[in-house]
Chain A
Amino acid sequence: MIKAGIDVGAKTIKVVLMEDGKIRAKAKVLSGFDQEESAKEALEQALKEAGLSREAIGSIVTTGNGRKAISYASGDVTEPRAAALGAVFLYPSARTVIDVGAEEARAIKCDPSGKVLDFAVNEKCAAGSGAFTEAMARALEVPLEELGPLSLRSTQTIPMNAQCTVFAESEVISLIHSKTQKADIARAVHDGLSSRVVAMVRRVGLDPELVLIGGVAHNPGFVESFKRTVGIDDVRTAEEPEFVSAIGAALAVGK
C-alpha cells in the first residue's frame, strides 16, 4: 500500500510517497494562493514520477501550517510529530530535531519511536527563520542560494547587533556603506540566525544527537555557523531536509 505524506508549508508544498518503509517518489511545488490545488499538483507530480495512479494510494496524511486545508486527506498530524517521525526514520539515533523552515523554526525532543517529548517554537519572529536570510539576501543584493556559499568565504567575524529583521536590514545596509566585505556580512547574517535558533533549542535542552531539517538546512552558510554556535561538530543534516516532515506525515498512519 502506498502512503502519501504532504507537508503543506507556507512557501512550498512537499509530497512524499512511501511503500513498505521505502520512499517511492517526491515532489515539491510552490504553495501559491490555493494550497489545496497546489497540493494536488504536487501529488500528481509524485504519482507520475512513481508511475502510479491515484487509486494506488492507501492513505494521505498532511502536516504543515495548511494541513487542515486539504479536504481529500485521510488525516493530519502536527508539525512537531511529523518532523520527529521523519527524522527518526532517517536517523534512528536522533533525539533532538531542529526544523528551520521559511517562516517558523522549531526544536523537538523525541524518543526512539519518534514520540514528541517536548518542543519549542520560534513564534512570530522572522529573525529566527528562513525569512530572515531571505530579507538579508535582498539587502545584500545577492541571490538567496548564493548567500550561504558566499558566507563560507568570509575570513572574519563581525557581530551583527540588530535583534530583529527590520533593524538588521538597515544594519546590513550600513555595513555595505562602510565597505565591509559582503562575505563577512553574509557570515554575520548566518551567525545572527543561528544564535536565535540555538537560543530556542536550549529551551528543550541541547542533546548532541541532533538532526537539522527544514529547507534552511540546505544553506551551507547556516549549517556552518550553527555548528560553530552550538559547539558541536558533527551536526547531521538531512540530505533533502525539506522532505523530512512529509516523510513523517506519510509514516504517521498506524502509529
Chain B
Amino acid sequence: MIEKFKEWYINRHTYAKQWKEQTGGKVIGTFCTYVPEEILVAAKMLPARILGSHEPQDVTEPHIFGMFCPFCRDALAQGLKGRFNYLDGVVLAHSCIHFRQTFNSWRIHLPVEFSYYIPMPNTVQTPHARSYHRVEVENFKKAIEEYTGRPITEQDLDRGIEILNRNRRLLRKVYECRKLDNPPLTGEEAMYMAVTSQFIDKEEHSNVLEAVLKELPERKLPRDSGIRLMAVGSENDDAEFFKMVESVGSTVVIDEQCAGSRYFWNESVPNGDRLAAIANRYLDRPPCPVKDYPAHSRFQHVLNLAKDYRAQGAIIMQEKFCDPHEGDNPRLKKFLEENGIPTLSLEFDSTNPLGPFRIRVEAFLETIRGEELF
C-alpha cells in the first residue's frame, strides 16, 4: 500500500489529468502552502501544489533573475515546459517575494481561466491579522463562486474543512509512528506521503493513508534505523536526498519543512464561523520564517519536534538565496545546539550534487555516533 505514494509522487501529472477526465472538475495550481484549500475542496476542485522537478533546466533565465531561490525557478520551469498545462487556475497566498515571481511569470506567460492573489497577512503574530484574513478568505470564496457560477454553501465549507482536517489528522498519525524506537517507515517514504497530499485528491489520499496506518504496526524496516535525524528548513521535496541520507546509517524521523509537516500540522478548528476557522488555521500553523516575527515563534516548535521525535541531530536544509530561512538559520542553529541538538547546515540548489553531500552527512553522523560513545 505504502508504495502508492511514491507512484503518485512520480506520476503526479498523469494523476491530475486523469482526475480531470474522470470528474470533469477543475484543477487549481496552488503556490506555497498558505492557500486556504478548504475553499477549493468545498468547490469540488483539485488543489495541486506547484513544485519543481529537480532536473537541470534552461528555460527560466529570461523570467527570474539568478539571485532568487532555485525552487522558485524550478517550479516555473515546470509550467514553461508545459507539464502543468492541465491547470484551470492558479492561486497564490502572500508569502515570500521569491515565489511570488513564479506566480507572476505564470500569470503573464501561461494564462489560465482563473488566477487569484490572496493578500494574506504577513505578520501572523498581530491580533488584527484574524479579522483581516477572514475577510480575505471570504473574498477568495466569492471569487471562486463567481468563477464556477455556483455558491459554496455552509455544508460545502463543512465538507471542505472536514476533508482537509481528516487528511491532516491521518498524516499526524503516520508521523506519530515515527516516534517509535524503530520507525516502521523511512523519511523518504514519509516525504512521499506528505508531498503527495498536496496534489492528490484529499479523500483518495486519506483512504490510502488509513489503509497504510493499519499495516504500519506490523511493518519492520529491513535495516537498523541508525541515527535519528530531523530535517528542517526551506522547501524540500527532494526524495533522492533523503534516500541518500538514509543509506548511510540514519533515519529521518521528523521534518519541519513546508513540503512536510508545516503543511499539515494543525487543523481548522470549527468555531461556528467557518470562514474564521479556515482563516485562523493558516495564521496558527507553524509559520514559514517569512511570516515569523517579531518573535521567533517557530524555534520552540522546532525544538519540541526534535525532542518529541528524539532526533539526535538536525540537518538544516536551505535553498540557496532563500532569504526567509537565511534570516532565521544562524540563530536557529545556535538555539538547537544550545539545546543539545547537533546540526549540519547544507545549502541546496534545485538539483543537488549528492556525492559531496554524502561525504558531509557521513561526517556529521560520525560525530553524533562519537558523542554516543562517551
- A68 proximal to B (CB < 8 A): no
> Which of B56, B62, B70 contacts A159, CB < 8 Å?
B56
A199 touches B353 (CB 8 A): no
Alpha-carbon distance A202/B76, docked complex (angstroms)? 15
B56 (CB) vs chain A CBs: closest residue: A195
Q: B349 near A163 (CB under 8 angstroms)?
A: yes
Q: Is B354 an interface residue (CB 8 A)?
A: yes
Is A135 interfacial (CB 8 A cutoff)?
no
Q: In this complex, which of B56, B59, B62 has the most chain A Cβ atoms within 10 angstroms of its Cβ? A: B56
Which single member of A173, A195, A203 contacts B355 (CB below 8 Å)?
A173
Given A159-B55, A160-B56, A195-B56, are A174 and B62 neighbors across the interface (CB < 8 Å)? no
Partner of A161 from B61, B353, B358 at Cβ < 8 Å? B353
Question: Given the complex of chains A and B, what is the CA–CA distance between A161 and B238 in angstroms?
Answer: 13
| Chain A residues near B122 (CB-CB < 8 A) | none
Measured between beta carbons, the chain B residues less than 8 angstroms from A167 are 349, 353, 356
- Is the pair B355, A202 in contact by a Cβ cutoff of 8 Å? no
Contact with A along B55-67 (1 / 0, CB 8 A): 1111111100000
B225 at the interface (CB under 8 A from A): no
Chain A residue at minimal CB-CB distance from B58 = A199
Instruction: Collect the chain B residues with CB atoms within 8 Å of residue A159's CB.
Output: 55-56, 351
A202-B61 contact, Cβ under 8 Å, with A159-B351, A170-B355 = yes
Q: Mark B337-374, 1 if CB is under 8 A from A, else 0.
A: 00000000000010111111010000000000000000
A84 to B138, CA, bound (A): 57
Interface of A is mostly: helix
CA A178 to CA B358, docked complex, whole Å: 13
Q: Is the CB of A192 within 8 A of B58?
A: no
Complex Cα distance A192/B57, Å? 10
The complex places the Cα of A195 from the Cα of B61 at a distance, in Å, of 11
Nearest B residue to A167, CB-CB: B353
CA A92 – CA B354 in complex, angstroms? 46
Contacting pair A202 B59 (CB below 8 A): yes
A202 engages B56 (CB within 8 Å) = no
A196–B58 CB distance below 8 A: yes
Does A174 contact B358, Cβ atoms closer than 8 Å?
yes
Contacts of B55 in A (CB 8 A): 159
**A161 and B351 alpha carbons, distance in the complex (Å):** 5
- The answer for the CA separation of A163 and B353 in the assembled complex, in Å, is 8
Interface set, chain B 68-125, CB cutoff 8 A to A: 70
Assembled-state Cα–Cα distance A173/B351 (Å):
17
Q: How large is the interface on A (under 10, 10 to 19, 20 to 34, 35 or more residues)?
A: 20 to 34
Partner of B353, one of A162, A178, A198, A229: A162
Q: Contacting A202 at CB < 8 Å: which of B58, B70, B349, B358?
A: B58
Q: How far is the CB of A156 from chain B (nearest CB, A)?
A: 16
- Are the CB atoms of B353 and A171 closer together than 8 Å? yes
Question: With A159-B55, A192-B56 in contact, do A202 and B62 touch (Cβ < 8 Å)?
Answer: yes
Cβ-based interface call for A10 (8 A): no
- A 123-175 contacts with B by CB, 8 A: 159-163, 167-168, 170-171, 173-175
In the complex, which residue of chain A has the Cβ closest to the Cβ of B66? A125
Per-residue contact bits, chain A 173-199, to B (CB 8 Å; 1 contact, 0 not): 111011000000000000110011011
Q: Is the CB of B356 within 8 A of A170?
A: yes
A229 and B349 CA atoms in complex are apart in Å by: 21
Distance between A217 CB and nearest chain B CB, rounded to angstroms: 18
Q: How far is the CA of A177 from the CA of B355 in the complex (A)?
A: 10
CA distance A174 to B358 in the complex (A): 10
Chain B hits for A195, CB < 8 A = 56-58
CA distance A177 to B359 in the complex (A): 13
Question: Does B353 lie within 8 Å of A168, measured CB to CB?
Answer: yes
Q: How far is the CA of A27 from the CA of B232 in the complex (A)?
A: 58
Q: Is the CB of B58 within 8 A of A229?
A: yes
- Give chain B residues whose Cβ lies under 8 Å from the Cβ of A199: 57-61
- B: residues with CB less than 8 A from A are 55-62, 70, 349, 351-356, 358
A residues sitting closer than 8 Å to B (CB atoms) are 159-163, 167-168, 170-171, 173-175, 177-178, 191-192, 195-196, 198-200, 202-203, 229
A-B contact pairs, 25 of them (CB 8 A): A161-B353, A161-B354, A162-B349, A162-B353, A163-B349, A167-B353, A167-B356, A168-B353, A170-B355, A170-B356, A171-B353, A171-B355, A173-B355, A174-B353, A174-B358, A177-B355, A178-B355, A195-B57, A196-B58, A199-B57, A199-B59, A199-B60, A202-B58, A202-B61, A202-B62
- A202-B61, A202-B62 given; name 8 further pairs at CB < 8 Å: A161-B353, A161-B354, A163-B351, A170-B355, A192-B56, A195-B57, A199-B57, A199-B59
